Each structure stands twice: as C-alpha cells, then as structure tokens.
Amino acid sequence: MKRRTFTLGGIAAAGTMLLAACGGGRTGAEADGGDEAGGGFDADATIGVSLPWLGTQNWAEAEDLFKAQLEEAGFTALIQAADNKVPQQQQQIEAMVQKGVKAIVVGPIDGTQLGSALKAAQDADVRIIGYDRLIENTEAVDAVVQFGSIRTGELQGQSLLDGLADRKGDGPYNIELFGGGPADPNAPNFFEGAMSVLQPKIDDGTLVVVSGQTDFQQAATQDWDNGKAQSRMDSILAANYSDKQIDGVLSPNDGIARAIITSCKAAGQDVPVVDGLDAETESISSIWAGEQYSTVHKPTKDLVAKTVEIISAYQAGEEPPAADESENNGMIDVPIYALEPVVVTKDNAEEVFAEDEARLALLED
Ligand code: BGC
C-alpha cells in the first residue's frame, strides 16, 4: 500500500487525531515485511545512511556514530558518503533501496535533487528521514532531524556582535559576510538567522560591510569549499582593506572561519572576530589559543541518537516521538525534530565540553 506522509500541518488543519491515526504512517500489519510480533519491520533490518560528503568533521563523526548506534540498536548499518556529487548520492540511495533497506537517513547534498530517488524509496515502503538538512520539493520524506537552522544563524550573528564588543572596543566595525554552499538548504537559513541580528546594526551604522556584499548569493561559498572562501576573502581584502582594519567576519562554519583567518593574517591584518559552526577540533584549539572567537556546537552524537530513536519507533510499529515543529518543504509540511545548538567561546568551552573527553582534552594549556 502507498504510505501517506504524516504532516503536522495536515493534522492541525483537520483538527482531529483521526487523521493522525490514519495518516501517521504504517503500524504493525500494514507494514510490508512486518515481523510476527506486529512490528513495523524486522528488528535486525538494514538501515541506509546517505551522507553528502565527509569534508567537515560533523559528517565524519556521523559516519562513525551511525554505525555504532544503529548496531547497538540491533540494526545492520549501510552507510555511504557521496563526495558532494548529486548523481553519486542519487545512485547510492537507489542501490540502498535495491538492497532492501527499511529506512534511509539522508543528509542531502542538494535539498531539491533527490525527488525521484526518494519517490522510489517511498514506493518501496522505505522510511525516509532527513538528517541535519531539510529535504525539499518532495512528498517522500517522513521527518527531518536537525539543529534549528535559523536558530543556528541567530547564534552566529549574535556571537559576532558579542565578539566585536569584547575584542574590538567601540564601533563602528568593518565586517564582511560569508554564507555556506547555496545548494544546502541550511546555508540560506543560517544566513537569514544571522542577518536578522546583524541587519539592524548595519542599518544604524554600527556595522559597515565595506565590500557592500550583503546578499546571500554574493556571500555564499560554493560547495562549502574552504579554498573558495579563502580566495573570496583574499579578493575582498585586496580590493577594500588596503587602508582599513577588518574587525569581524560572519562565517557559516569552522572550516570557512579558519580559511578567513588565514587570509586575513596573510594580508597583514590583525585576526578579526570570526564565529563558526561544528566545534571542530582545529577550531576549538584556535578558540582556546585566542584566535577564532566562537563556534556553534551541535553535537552529532545527540542528532544521531534522535534519528535512531525515531527509526526504532518505526521498527516497532509505534508512533515516533512528537516533532518540535514543521516546515514546508515546497510540497508538504515536514515534521522537524529541532535540537538546540549552543555557542562556545573560550569562556564557556570547559563547561560545554565537560562530558566530551576528546574536545575537553583540547583545552589543556
Ligand atoms: C551542516 C554543517 C556543515 C556544513 C558543511 C551543513 O549542512 O549543518 O554542520 O559544516 O553542512 O558540511
């Protein structure tokens, strides 16, 4: 049978739990391949995980943690990364369906380009969970698990402002703006969240974007490529800052933050205030050494655990835990599990990483 996608919007509109009961996904006997105990699928089923690339630490950690946590929950894990190439990710998803996976976890390279691969998965009664990134323009998605992406951007914008006040004295401040890869649905959201904090300060003259490049399209970094961000920073500095100090730079993640700092140092600038994302090893060391100002920590372990919890509910034929919000993906309202990210500076790093041995170990003097 064809599965109807559960949407928060649909339930709210219908104003009845009846629809939830009918539309809330398959239970027990409805599910194909359901086991005799009435579960959604076999307890040792294979679960596919399709990651966009392993180019930033969060994805490499996700690869390891999905393997560990899916196996711990009794599943067989089939994990692949697609090297930032959309056709490769489409093929990997198709192959996972061929192999009979019961659920697929997808961190899309391009949120809009997986429609037909995921439709085929849905037609085969495979559960589909977007991981860390929204899956757009398709009905073939059951839920998305992520750290709030607008919220992440707000934290980045606020920590840039805090860092400027902390390190650069009184304004006005000369700043530049960087965004992430435009195909990644997180990237415009991070930027939008940050600009909701920064734009009023640009408007009142506290912040001056000297290059004038304030649109997301101008600020975006194709493919989240650190090298491209570094080249753009080099060009901006050469064209605009020969007689000026750069005070701060909005950065969408840690790799780009370090590329920006490298570029500024090479141009003979003092290190500007730069935020980041991911709490990567190298950036934590940089923050501890007093260079990068901050990062936003979104613990991969928690994101993977939430995803595995949902898959386990599907497996048992139970309703998954209640989602936090819903977001329209261009076709449907997708239930979103939104975890809360946290800003890390030198001041709170020991506290934030108190139970993360590997990161805590980076904070030794
Ligand atoms: C993730 C970030 C990551 C970036 C580049 C984003 O979608 O949320 O954690 O740094 O992709 O890989």
Q: Which atom of ligand 1 is nearest the CA belonging to 149? A: 8
pTM score, whole prediction: 0.90
Q: Which atom of ligand 1 is nearest the CA belonging to 255? A: 10
Q: Which domains does the chain have, with CATH numbers?
A: 4-141+299-339 (3.40.50.2300), 149-297+344-360 (3.40.50.2300)
Number of H helices, E strands in the chain: 14, 13
Distances (CA, A) of 19 to 4, 30, 50, 176, 209: 10, 16, 31, 49, 50
Digit-coded pLDDT (tens) for 310-339: 999 999 999 999 999 999 999 999 999 999
Q: Assess whether the C-beta atom of 109 lies below 6 angstroms from ligand 1.
A: no
- DSSP SS3 for 42: coil
DSSP symbols for 257-321:
HHHHHHHHHHTTPPPPEE--SS--HHHHHHHHTTSS-EEEE--HHHHHHHHHHHHHHHHHT-PPP
Encoded tokens for 108:
């899309």
- DSSP SS3 for 116: helix
Q: Assess whether the C-beta atom of 277 lies below 6 angstroms from ligand 1.
A: yes
Question: Ligand 1 centre and the CA of 21: distance in Å?
Answer: 35
Digit-coded pLDDT (tens) for 24-64: 343 333 334 334 334 599 999 999 999 999 999 999 999 99
Question: Ligand 1 centre and the CA of 25: distance in Å?
Answer: 29
For position 128, what pLDDT does the model report? 98
Contacts of 239 (CB under 8 A, 6+ apart): 211
Encoded tokens for 187:
């990237």
Q: How confident is the model at residue 12 (pLDDT cuts 50, 70, 90)?
A: very low
For position 39, what pLDDT does the model report? 53
Question: Ligand 1 centre and the CA of 246: distance in Å?
Answer: 26
Q: Is 336 left (phi over 0), alpha (psi -120 to 50) or beta?
A: beta
Kindly state the average pLDDT of the residues 148-170: 97
Q: Is 51 within 8 Å of 82 (Cβ atoms)?
A: yes
Q: Which atom of ligand 1 is nearest the CA belonging to 298? A: 9
Digit-coded pLDDT (tens) for 77-116: 999 999 999 999 999 999 999 999 999 999 999 999 999 9
DSSP symbols for 145-162:
EEE-HHHHHHHHHHHHHH
* Ligand 1 pocket test target in 57, 132, 258, 283 with most atoms within 8 Å of CB: 132
Q: Assess whether the C-beta atom of 75 lies below 6 angstroms from ligand 1.
A: no
Encoded tokens for 351:
């506290």
Q: Which atom of ligand 1 is nearest the CA belonging to 152? A: 8
